Homo-oligomer: A and B are copies of this chain.
Amino acid sequence: MPTKPIIILSQPQLGENIGACARVMCNFGLEELRIIAPRDGWPNPKANDMAKSARYILDQATIYENLPAALTDIQSLYATTTRPRDMVKQVVTPKEMIKAVHEQQADIKVAILFGPERTGLTNDDIILADNILTIPVSDQYNSLNLAQAVAICAYEYFTYDKHHLTNELTFRKSEPATKQDVHYMIKQLEEALDKTNFFQVPEKKEKMMQNIGNIFTRTPLSQQDVRTLQGMLRALAEK
């Protein structure tokens, strides 16, 4: 397991944002929050309200007077900013940061630093960082809400190598139909149609049945789906 990045909020202004950060950290498997000089003091009831079930992250959060005090054990620091800086620093995206976190030694302590809502990080803050983290945003409006910026970083952390886990059909109560099930259903349909005047031109029947068969094989069907279709077919044929 790679180290979990620590989230550091420098001088956050709104309790709602601090609480929303805690909630989304919890949603995406992060735990440790450090807060430097929160404007409205600490604890903050608005933060607690917004955190909902992630309240424990706020209860465990540690508060510092200044940035160096929050960094005593941090070995790798990413500073988030969208603005160009006249500084020679590697600029990485959230995805690149998380890849680096997964590839580095597992015991290196990593933190991601976020500035105050209105002004962002100062150059003095950024000097201490190994890398600048920039979330790609539209030129139209490049100012991300603080908790949204934390959300993107936490999401990239949590979903690293998880992007295909849910890629499966949910056939919860029924297994996928076998091809034989589907074949018999199509045969049953053909027999029912044979008893009508559906196939008016006999030489076109084969091609028509191919097309009809493909309608039912194009979409994955469960065993229950096939039983339902067969039931409908019987009902219609008997009418």
> Which A positions have Cβ atoms within 8 angstroms of B?
20, 23-24, 26-29, 52-54, 84-93, 95-96, 132, 134-138, 140-145, 147-148, 151-152, 155, 158-159, 162-174, 220-222, 224-225
Would you call B88 and A166 a contact (CB within 8 A)? no
> With a CB–CB cut-off of 8 A, which chain B residues contact A132?
170
Among candidates B29, B88, B164, B225, residue contacting A88 with C-beta atoms closer than 8 Å: B225
> With a CB–CB cut-off of 8 A, which chain B residues contact A168?
91
Question: Contacts A29-B138, A53-B141, A136-B166 given; 6 further ones with Cβ under 8 A?
Answer: A88-B169, A88-B171, A95-B159, A132-B170, A134-B166, A136-B158
Would you call B144 and A24 a contact (CB within 8 A)? yes
A31 vs B174: C-alpha distance in the bound complex, in angstroms?
A: 40
Would you call B137 and A158 a contact (CB within 8 A)? yes
Would you call A172 and B86 a contact (CB within 8 A)? yes
Among candidates B23, B84, B158, B163, residue contacting A95 with C-beta atoms closer than 8 Å: B163
A91 to chain B, nearest CB (A): 5
A159 vs B98: C-alpha distance in the bound complex, in angstroms?
A: 15
A172 to chain B, nearest CB (A): 5
Q: Taking chain A's interface residues, is the majority helix, strand, or loop, or is none over half, making it mixed?
A: loop
Among candidates B20, B166, B225, residue contacting A145 with C-beta atoms closer than 8 Å: B20
> With a CB–CB cut-off of 8 A, which chain B residues contact A96?
163-164, 167
- Nearest chain B residue, comparing its CB with the CB of A165: B136
Among candidates B23, B95, B136, B170, residue contacting A85 with C-beta atoms closer than 8 Å: B170
Would you call B151 and A23 a contact (CB within 8 A)? no
A224 vs B88: C-alpha distance in the bound complex, in angstroms?
A: 10
A95 to chain B, nearest CB (A): 5
Would you call B167 and A93 a contact (CB within 8 A)? yes
> With a CB–CB cut-off of 8 A, which chain B residues contact A24?
144-145, 148
Contacts A136-B162, A158-B136 given; indicate if A145 touches B87 (C-beta within 8 A). Answer: no
Would you call B173 and A86 a contact (CB within 8 A)? yes
A7 to chain B, nearest CB (A): 15
A87 vs B95: C-alpha distance in the bound complex, in angstroms?
A: 33
Would you call B91 and A170 a contact (CB within 8 A)? yes
A156 to chain B, nearest CB (A): 9
A174 vs B174: C-alpha distance in the bound complex, in angstroms?
A: 65
- Nearest chain B residue, comparing its CB with the CB of A168: B91
